[in-house]
Amino acid sequence: MGLESSKWAIIFLVCWLYKNVSCNSVEQKIYVELNNTVPCVRLLNATHQIGCQSSISGDTGVIHVLESEEDLEWPLSKGPNPPYMVLLESSLFTRSIMMKMKNESNRVAGVAVVVPNTSPPEFSPHTTCPNENTGVYSDNYGPNLAHCNTTVWNPRGNGLSYEEFDFPVFSLKEDNETEFIKQCYLDHNRAVNGSAPQYPLCAMQLFSHMHAVTNTPTCMRRNDINFSINPEMVCDPLGDYNVWGSIRPYNDTVFGHKENESVVIAAARLDSRAFFWEVSTGAEGSVSGFVTLLAAAQALREVTHEAPPTRNILFAFFQGETFDYIGSSRMVYDMENGKFVIDLDNIHSVLEIGQVALHSGNNLFLHSDPVSRRNNTVNDVVKNLVNNLQSSTAGLGFLLVEPNVSQPLPPSSLQRFLRAQPIPGIVLADHESAFNNRYYESFYDNAANLNLTYPSDLSPEEQLEFVTHTAESLTDVATVVARALYKQAGGDESRVNTIKADPKIVTQMLYGFLVSSNNSWFQAVMAPELKNILKPSPPEYYVGVAMSSTPTRLVQYLLANLTGAATNLTQSQCQKPDELPNESRQMYSYLWVQGIVPPNSTERDSFCVRASVRLTKAVSPAFELGEYASKDYSTWTESRWKFIKARIFLVASRDLEMLTLGVGVAVLFTSLLVTYFISTKADVLFSSTREPASAAY
């Protein structure tokens, strides 16, 4: 009995000790993982690779916080412990410093950029002439207008996004982790009174090994190789879906030219980019345009039901325009090859909404293509469209002005339509020549760039409903666009002045697209299975490779809710509407949306929306045709990678490492020798006392 109880006592004691014992991993004591980092990745096109690459086992360098451009001498020539990992403040993230480091890249292991919360005066890593080789202007078409000879659209562009770096470049936020890194630098790496800093030094290691190399034809070829031992995909084409919707629905199974059908296309772009991967906010660059177009579509809903215009109006939102017009080139290609519901000959005119939120001086500008306007028919339609636009601004406090006639079109989707056929079109923008946007295609093009400010004492729900100045000015632009489109489509003149865009909707959209996408309105218009894409931060506008970008889905559901009709269908009927007599999935798309939460309950009032809103694939025709070296179409691909991480730790001097290794090897050989000697002399060393001769027999 005593043994039993003592056994149990021991078991309980062991279990209790086990619970209280914790273990410490050696790795956690050495490395500090950095979690809020964003890498720069490698992108490839038909001829080049751009972006950053690290080595396969990461790049390690001694941290050096750069204080000024002259301080670059330390990592590049004077410092005694190369390679260095240079930590830059955003004011020092300039082309001259990055190019100097690129030239001495054997002493630079990598760069970390600290991105502050406030924006610098200007910064645009894009090129000065966006999409210059895939627009309409070339040596055959307006040669004096090509390559930004007359107007440089993005003069502040430093082209950093299109340079190739063979060291990793990461971005850090201004938070506790960055403070920790700077403290580590100050404690260990500072040179005291000109003498070299002593080991151990604080070092950072960045992993961002990219699989693809050289250019798109090479990486697509390597994707396709079948007989290698381990076939691996190394890159993916950029692309997503275009969203389009129309006033009168089209049968989604009947493609090609439609007789006697004349369509006015209203276009905007959806995407944007930045130097680092996926952090693109594109407030002025893309959000201003498509929010205006969504508001105009909503403003036209009622009047086009009561008094339908003669021509149809098609709202098109193109994805991938940043990367050589992926979405619009694909739509034009589909139209040319009879794979879209209408044809290029069905297009009457095009009105594109460019960057419209920063109009200083209360004027907006109507850009048109001077080369196509030399043709009188085209010129007449353009003049008519200009008139319709200018007369729609009555009572709204700003004017629409045409810039100098010999100026080319800014980078816009209309250029791809013009490449195929001379189509009359106008691009509406807030800049007369160079962009007003000081942060074109950069991570600073955010809500602050649009002066989108809310009073500080509002809750998120109140901020959603608060109508800001930006929202009001965009609402006016949307009203003008809606009225002009209605007139252009041959609608009833008497009803034009009843068309007004709703500022409430515009401000809710601006909040959702620039501040926080997880708000009650976006939750109400989205499908239940997609509610996880809504986050407390604004969505990312990078086109990406996964074909599931958040802005596309949001715009699809918003366009459906704003231009479509709510129906009484149940959820199962919504998935199979063809069983009902009046509904047809070929003419409309049926989307089951969550709906709002009524005040006195917790269940959502979900319903089925019927709208003529569709998604079409926006992958460059170069990948459909297999022409990976195409000069006509976008050939951008993004490399694949295994993992991306960053960590800091203290690193010892090379001499100490070699000494430790040497001592270890010496101990190994000594022990081998000793073992050998002991085993040969074993009988001498381990002889037991001789037993007395047991020869007793």
Partner 1 sequence: MNLERLPNEEKLTLCRKYYFGNVYNVCVWGFAFLPFLWLVNVVWFFKEAFVKPTYTEQLQIKTYVKCSGLGFLLWVAVLTTWITIFQHFRAEWGEVGDYLSFTIPLGIP
Question: Using CB under 8 A as the criterion, which residues of the chain lie in contact with partner 1 when the complex forms?
Answer: 53, 56, 209-214, 218, 221-222, 225, 228-230, 232, 234
Considering the complex, what minimum distance in angstroms separates the CB of residue 234 from partner 1?
7
What is the three-state SS of 120-169?
Answer: CCCCECCCCCCCCCCCCCCCCCCCCCHHHCCCCCCCCECCHHHCEECCCE
CA distances from 38 to 168, 207, 231, 278, 279 (A): 11, 11, 28, 8, 8
Q: Which of 250, 427, 419, 248 is nearest to 344 (CA)?
A: 419
Considering the complex, what minimum distance in angstroms separates the CB of residue 645 from partner 1?
16
CA angle 623, 626, 629 (to 5 degrees): 90
Considering the complex, what minimum distance in angstroms separates the CB of residue 646 from partner 1?
18
Considering the complex, what minimum distance in angstroms separates the CB of residue 31 from partner 1?
23
Residue 222 or 487: which CB sits closer to partner 1?
222
| Token output for 210 | 């990219």
Considering the complex, what minimum distance in angstroms separates the CB of residue 630 from partner 1?
17
| Token output for 400 | 């629409």
Residue 181 or 212: which CB sits closer to partner 1?
212
**How many whole angstroms separate alpha carbon 219 and alpha carbon 563?**
42
In this structure, are residues 413 and 267 in contact, taking their beta carbons and an 8 Å threshold? yes
Residue 95 or 221: which CB sits closer to partner 1?
221
Considering the complex, what minimum distance in angstroms separates the CB of residue 59 from partner 1?
13
Residue 53 or 523: which CB sits closer to partner 1?
53
Enumerate the β-bridge partners of residue 107.
none
Considering the complex, what minimum distance in angstroms separates the CB of residue 298 from partner 1?
48
Residue 230 or 688: which CB sits closer to partner 1?
230
Residue with tokens 């000109």: 194
Which parts of 211-368 fold into alpha helices (H)? 216-224, 288-306, 326-336
**How many whole angstroms separate alpha carbon 318 and alpha carbon 662?**
62
Residue 315 or 628: which CB sits closer to partner 1?
628
**How many whole angstroms separate alpha carbon 352 and alpha carbon 462?**
32
Q: Which of 167, 170, 71, 159 is nearest to 115 (CA)?
A: 170
In this structure, are residues 85 and 64 in contact, taking their beta carbons and an 8 Å threshold? yes
Considering the complex, what minimum distance in angstroms separates the CB of residue 216 from partner 1?
13
Considering the complex, what minimum distance in angstroms separates the CB of residue 50 from partner 1?
15
Residue 47 or 586: which CB sits closer to partner 1?
47
* Strand stretches in 511-640, DSSP E: 565-567, 589-593, 607-611, 613-619, 637-639
Considering the complex, what minimum distance in angstroms separates the CB of residue 419 from partner 1?
30
Contacts for 417 with CB less than 8 Å, ≥ 6 apart: 265, 328, 332, 344, 347, 350, 423, 425
For 313, which DSSP code?
E
Residue 273 or 640: which CB sits closer to partner 1?
640
Residue 56 or 401: which CB sits closer to partner 1?
56
Residue 234 or 300: which CB sits closer to partner 1?
234
Enumerate the β-bridge partners of residue 351.
266, 426
